[in-house]
Amino acid sequence: MSRQLTQRLIFTLIILAAVSTVTPIVLIVGYIAWKGLPAISWEFLSGLPREGMRAGGIWPAIVGTIYLTLGTGLIAVPLGVAAAIYLAEYAKDNWLTRAIRIAIINLAGIPSVVYGLFGLGLFVLFLRFGTSILAGCLTLSIMTLPVIISTAEEALRAVPQSFRVVSISLGGTKWQTIWRIVLPQALPGILTGVILGLERAAGETAPILFTAAAFFLPRLPDSPFDATMALPYHLFVISTQVPSMPIQIQYGTALVLLVFVLSMMLIATIIRSRARARRQW
Amino acid sequence: MIQAHGGNLSNSSNAKIVVAHLSVQYDDGTESLRDISMEIPANEITVLFGPAGGGKSTLLRALNRLNDLVDGVRLIGKVYLDGENILDPNLDVVSLRRRVGMVFAQPIPLPMSIRQNVIYGLELAGVRHAGKLELALEKALRAAALWDEVHDRLNEPAAALSGGQQQRLCLARVLALEPEVVLLDEPTSGLDPISTAKVEASLEEIKRDYTVVIVPHSIQQAARIADRAAFFLQGQLIEYGIGKDLFVAPTDKRTEDYVTGRFG
């Protein structure tokens, strides 16, 4: 076979590989949009479920997912960013640091259903939070922390060391240097990580299955100790647990969840590309 | 008065900095300075020169304790600033670094505006008064011979300046703190001849108010600006004296060989 022909063959194969990775995404989004769009209406988005969820809207599930996502952010972001600052700026290479790193890696590898069981044991039963938004947020936080910590640490490390040296040489303390130079420069990267972490939290079913989600609760939760409906769990319920469910409502719910998660991803992408354009280093 | 061996000044009452038997060692057993003693006078430009790896930068960084940022460095001996040992582990390094400023080889503007770069150190020190900051800003930029070029665009990002302007900005940033000593580590190594001349000219200006210690980027620059010159070779101080004497008539053979370009 001539070199030219080999060249062309390889090129074609690589193009095919690239296209085939994009195909499922296009198909999934396209298919769900096609099947789900007819279900979308103001009543569907803002109404309460009726007739055993076979009619009406998914408003409580939307609100529940927003609460769970924001609550998780409230807990996981300060903790995760603080941990990342410790690892990137303060930690020396000793047994404690190594232990923390191993813990983070292992946390990232735990299946989400195990987080759910852990949350059930610790938050719901032992700490008596009950099946509640609080227990769900805490469980989701533990699951999200590794993502936030590792992306935030990476973002902090990407800030040039020379900025730190200059700041210190101008009479800055370590904390002044971190607060005034390093954190602002790392912020877009940290935000990207935070949003990607929360996006996963918003879409997960298993961690909230035993800790926060209500099978059917046609009202809005009114305290962090209330259980709540949530989009991923609601989707699971109406797809498997409710007989003679109109298929439109299933796909409509899936579409809302997908749009919710994809728009978080989009925001993260916009933040990242804007920051990259403005960056001076 | 603390007496140091080796590099004594004729008039030692004028010494701003006294280095006494300073050695710098690393955990891996290497040594970048061996038993350095010298006195650095106020209001003069003291040049530390010699081939790469001679320990010039290490000495510079010892003078404001920037070596602290590197793990595994040990400083043995004493360095006195106005009679106070600045290697004392209990010393407040933050206030030391306000008294002893540093300009690095690469211009490193902080990722903020020109104005913010200059007043950054003052803000860290807790100066909040806007009028005071503006005054210091103009004074520092004038001293660094940059005011005329940037006074109408102080809010632009510092990264937009040319390399030479950036380096003068870094000098201004140090001068804004009104330190007592200004250290410069090859400040013109990345600059064109015109920018270099501007930096050198402002050094001549600022030495009236400050003690200047510089590692020059070439022997020609050393000869141009040195009031005093110290020749370093492989971690040792070979010769230290009045600039114009040392470059014209070095007493040590190794200094002569280096100055006349026989090696280096």
- Total tally of structural domains belonging to chain B: 1
The DSSP output letter for A86 is I
- Chain B's closest residue to A162, CA to CA, is B108
CA-based nearest residue in chain A for residue B69: A165
- Residue B10's pLDDT is 47
Smallest CA-to-CA distance from B77 within B30, B26, B39, B24 is with B24
CA distance B161 to chain A (A): 12
Give residue-wise pLDDT tens across range A202-234.
Answer: 999 999 999 998 888 888 888 899 989 999 999
pLDDT tens digit string along B129-172?
999 999 999 999 999 989 999 999 999 999 999 988 999 999 99
Domain that holds residue B16: 12-108+180-259
Within-domain flag for B165 = no
A167 CA to chain B: closest CA distance, Å? 8
pLDDT at B113: 95
Calpha distance B83→B35 (Å, rounded) = 19
Q: Are A228 and A140 in contact (CB under 8 A)?
A: no
pLDDT at B195: 87
Residue in B64, B71, B104, B124 to test binding to A, most A beta-carbons within 10 Å? B124
**pLDDT score, position A125:** 93
**Domain for residue B206, yes or no?**
yes
For residue A7, which amino acid is it?
Q
Residue B5 lies in a domain: no
B104 vs A162: CB contact, 8 Å cut-off?
Answer: yes
CA-based nearest residue to B117, from A170, A165, A281: A170
Average pLDDT, chain A: 91
Q: How many CA atoms lie within 13 A of A35 on its CB side?
A: 15
Answer yes or no: is B190 within a domain: yes
Distance between CA atoms of A264 and B237, rounded to whole angstroms? 62
DSSP for B227-238, please give it: SEEEEEETTEEE
- How confident is the model over A270-279, as pLDDT tens digits? 988 888 888 8
Would you say residue B167 lies in a domain? no
Tell me the pLDDT tens digit for each residue of B10-53: 445 578 999 999 999 998 888 999 999 999 999 999 999 999 88
Architecture of domain A63-278 in CATH? Answer: Orthogonal Bundle (1.10)
Angle (CA) A45-A50-A52 rounded to 5° is 120
Question: Would you tell me how many other CB atoms lie within 10 Å of the CB of residue B173?
Answer: 29
Interface of chain A toward chain B, CB-CB under 8 angstroms: 92, 160, 162-173, 176, 180-181, 185, 279-281
The verdict on residue B135 lying in a domain is: no
Q: Give residue for tokens 């070979």.
A: B238
- The predicted pLDDT at position B69 comes to 85
Mean pLDDT of the A13-21 span: 94
- CATH number of the domain to which B55 belongs: 3.40.50.300
The answer for B 174-233 residues in CB contact with A (under 8 A) is 174, 177
Residue B69 lies in a domain: yes
Q: Do A163 and B108 touch (CB under 8 A)?
A: yes
Span between the terminal Cα atoms of chain B, in Å: 37
SS3 A7: helix
Inter-chain residue contact B111 with A163, CB threshold 8 Å: yes
pLDDT digits (tens, 9 = 90+) for B189-211: 888 899 899 889 989 989 999 99
Do A279 and B104 lie within an 8 Å CB cutoff?
Answer: no
pLDDT, mean of residues A114-127: 94
Contacts of residue A180 in chain B, CB cutoff 8 Å?
Answer: 120, 124
